[in-house]
A = this chain, B = another copy of it.
Amino acid sequence: MSSTPPRIAVVEVGPRDGLQNEPTAIATADKVRFVDALSRAGHRHIEVSAFVSPKWVPQMADAGAVFEAIARVPGVCYTALVPNLAGLTRALAARVDGVAVFAAASERFSIANINQSIDESLARYAEVVAEARAQDLPVRGYVSCAFGCPFEGAVAPAAVIRVTRALLEMGVGQVAISDTIGVGHPGQVRTLLAQLAADVPLARLALHFHDTRGTALANVLAGLDAGIATFDASAGGLGGCPYAPGAAGNLATEDLLYMLDGLGLETGVSRSGVMVASLALQPLLGHPLRSPSVQADLAASRR
């Protein structure tokens, strides 16, 4: 128990994971304003976009234009998801500060999502990581479906550990253990992290939760207790659950900060600053922001 609150890193995934899963397309200029507001809120790591095929993910077709137009704040790491070497080439041209690759712990999800088996995807990512590292670019990895799969149901911790180790061994700096469909609960978080800790340094792991069933902050609390110091979140709760349309998706950055601030854990990110960013998008989305803490603040301000 130190008297100085430990510092927790928040990775802002709203512009990528959030907007990619919103049904309404957002104009490039609005995305740029969004990213710039997130920078001003104090974020130090923003996943800005994805250099993926616009045929498959039209929401991210303007990745290059967004990177071109954002006002880069020194010290902020602006990253992009890349699926392959072609994407990495585009990302390098856009002067990203880092890239991310997206693997799955579930075979059927991997096939359904990226049309490759887990091993095929890892082989491709090894090339991407080698090339990124050759260009001095840090690489982040996601392990999706780490707490459950929409097709396979339960996912064995051993499958999560295998993919996590493979990513770290190929040179990925940090792996985000991701609850893609928001089924995880704190018992799973404890069990999985205990098993992961036997094989990989916890300092190399982040946790990425979706609040589909209201458990995201409880899962974060279990992660904090286990020693995890990096958490992903999406401003406003942007992004539905792609496998349960209409249900809530990403843990909202404002909700995460509400709890971390309350726990006295420093993040360097201003919750009200993030709200400024997400509320500017709310009228463009076609639905209210999903963050309960944002809606509670809005409701309280109306009474």
- Interface residue from B222, B247, B295 paired with A296 (Cβ < 8 Å): B247
Q: Does A106 contact B (CB under 8 A)?
A: no
- Beta-carbon contacts of A220-245 to B below 8 Å, as 1s and 0s? 11100000000000000000010111
Q: Does A292 contact B (CB under 8 A)?
A: yes
- Beta-carbon contacts of A281-303 to B below 8 Å, as 1s and 0s? 00000000001110110111011
A interface residue numbers (CB < 8 A to B): 150, 182, 185-188, 211-218, 220-222, 241, 243-248, 252, 255, 258-259, 262-264, 291-293, 295-296, 298-300, 302-303
Q: Which residue of B lies closest to A222 (CB)?
A: B221
Q: Which residues of B contact A186 (CB under 8 A)?
A: 221, 259, 262-263
- Interface residue from B185, B211, B258 paired with A185 (Cβ < 8 Å): B258
The contact sample of 17 A-B pairs, CB cut-off 8 A, is A182-B296, A186-B263, A187-B262, A187-B263, A212-B292, A212-B296, A213-B255, A213-B258, A214-B214, A214-B293, A215-B217, A241-B299, A244-B300, A245-B302, A246-B295, A246-B298, A246-B302
Q: Which residues of B contact A245 (CB under 8 A)?
A: 299, 302-303
Given contacts A212-B292, A213-B292, A217-B215, contact A299 B247 (CB under 8 A): yes
Q: Which residues of B contact A252 (CB under 8 A)?
A: 214
Given contacts A214-B252, A217-B215, A262-B186, contact A246 B299 (CB under 8 A): yes
Q: Are B185 and A248 in contact (CB under 8 A)?
A: no
Q: Are A185 and B259 in contact (CB under 8 A)?
A: yes
> Closest Cβ of chain B: how far from A206's Cβ, in Å?
18
Q: Are A213 and B248 in contact (CB under 8 A)?
A: no
Q: Are A215 and B296 in contact (CB under 8 A)?
A: no
Q: Which residues of B contact A255 (CB under 8 A)?
A: 213-215
Q: Which residues of B contact A293 (CB under 8 A)?
A: 212-214
Given contacts A222-B221, A262-B185, contact A213 B244 (CB under 8 A): no
* Bound CA–CA A188/B259 (angstroms): 10
Q: Which residues of B contact A248 (CB under 8 A)?
A: 292, 295-296
* Bound CA–CA A214/B211 (angstroms): 9
Q: Which residue of B lies closest to A258 (CB)?
A: B213
Most buried by B among A182, A217, A258: A217
* Bound CA–CA A186/B293 (angstroms): 15
* Bound CA–CA A274/B91 (angstroms): 49
* Bound CA–CA A263/B303 (angstroms): 38
Q: Are B212 and A247 in contact (CB under 8 A)?
A: no
> Closest Cβ of chain B: how far from A256's Cβ, in Å?
9
> Closest Cβ of chain B: how far from A175's Cβ, in Å?
23
> Closest Cβ of chain B: how far from A287's Cβ, in Å?
12
Q: Are A292 and B187 in contact (CB under 8 A)?
A: no
Q: Which residues of B contact A246 (CB under 8 A)?
A: 295, 298-299, 302
